[in-house]
Amino acid sequence: MSEGSGSVVEEAPPLPKVQVAAPGAPWRWLSRGLADLKGAPGPSLFYGGVFAVMGAALDNFIHVAALELALVTGFLLVAPFLAMGLYDISRHRQQGRAVVFSHTLVAWQSNAPSIGFYALILALLLAVWIRVSVVVVALFFTSELPTEGNLFAQLASSPEGWVFMASYAAAGVGFALFVFATSVVSLPLLLDWHGMDTLTAMITSVNVLRQNFAAMVLWALMIVLLIGAGFFSWYLGLIVTAPIVGHASWHAYKDCVSR
């Protein structure tokens, strides 16, 4: 702080420095994420269970197929915020401190305004994605999506289904790219740096993607495969895969951002 003319001016915190990680770094992040799961299995599996229950709830309690599809795919948009407790577990382990489960539940309070604002951004993106998703479904189906049996298996059984899935995926690419680019390290950064603002965290995240493009493309593919495996195992796989991804995301942040 500097003082002049009887007033006190607080200096802005230094901007985060982006570091370049090796193209194969995501394998190391994944290994460290697995180590965190093994090191704190109780809290980690609790959060994995929350992800699994949420996925199962979407599947069993929402009976409008188009809305269910939108929410299941939109799950990936808000997952970075839902993994906040997992980031806190990894932070404590990396610092050599004991993991306190109750602390992980309220870790977001350390930077509540900025984290809350980013959560609002994710919620708005999810709302927009739901609307876009429903419109895309309406363009291909005059009636409701099939609800009996495995939806993806039914869609894959016809050429029209493949065209729909390709179009649906294309519609989601823009949302997915924006969310991944702005969240790949932003929420761990907001959790770790007291006073960090949302905009700076998002810009830092975009810079991490830009300077580590090869590694981040591999990391994005790993996330999709791991979370997808959790979805296609009747959501039970999320109990394990979601914590691994959450913990690994923390290590991605620590590898790519420094003070």
pLDDT values of the chain reduced to their tens digit, one per residue, 259 residues: 444 444 445 555 667 999 999 989 999 999 999 999 999 999 999 999 999 998 888 777 665 666 667 777 777 777 888 899 999 999 999 999 999 999 999 999 989 999 999 989 988 888 888 888 888 877 877 665 655 455 566 666 677 777 877 888 888 888 888 889 999 999 999 999 988 999 999 999 999 999 999 999 999 999 989 998 998 898 899 999 999 999 999 999 999 999 8
C-alpha span between 183 and 178 (Å, rounded) = 8
* pTM attached to this predicted model: 0.85
pLDDT at 1: 47
Distance CA 188, CA 190 (A): 5
Give the pLDDT confidence score for residue 172 in this predicted structure: 80
Query: Among 24, 47, 19, which residue's Cα sits nearest to residue 245?
Result: 47
Burial 139-165 (b: 16+ CB within 10 A, else e): eeeeeebeeeeebeeebeeeeebeebe
User: Residue 213's Cα: distance from chain center in Å?
Assistant: 18
Non-local CB neighbours of 43 within 8 Å, separated by 6+ positions: 85, 89, 99, 101, 104
pLDDT at 64: 60
Q: What pLDDT, on a 0 to 100 scale, did the predictor assign at position 155?
A: 66
pLDDT at 171: 81
User: What is the reported pLDDT for 146?
Assistant: 56
pLDDT of residue 219: 96
CA 158 distance to own-chain centroid = 32
Give the count of beta carbons closer than 10 Å to the beta carbon of residue 97: 10
Query: C-alpha angle 189/54/144, rounded to 5°?
Result: 120
Residue-level pLDDT at 2: 44
Tokens of 202: 């998002």
Residue 79 Cα distances to 52, 87, 123, 245, angstroms: 12, 12, 11, 10
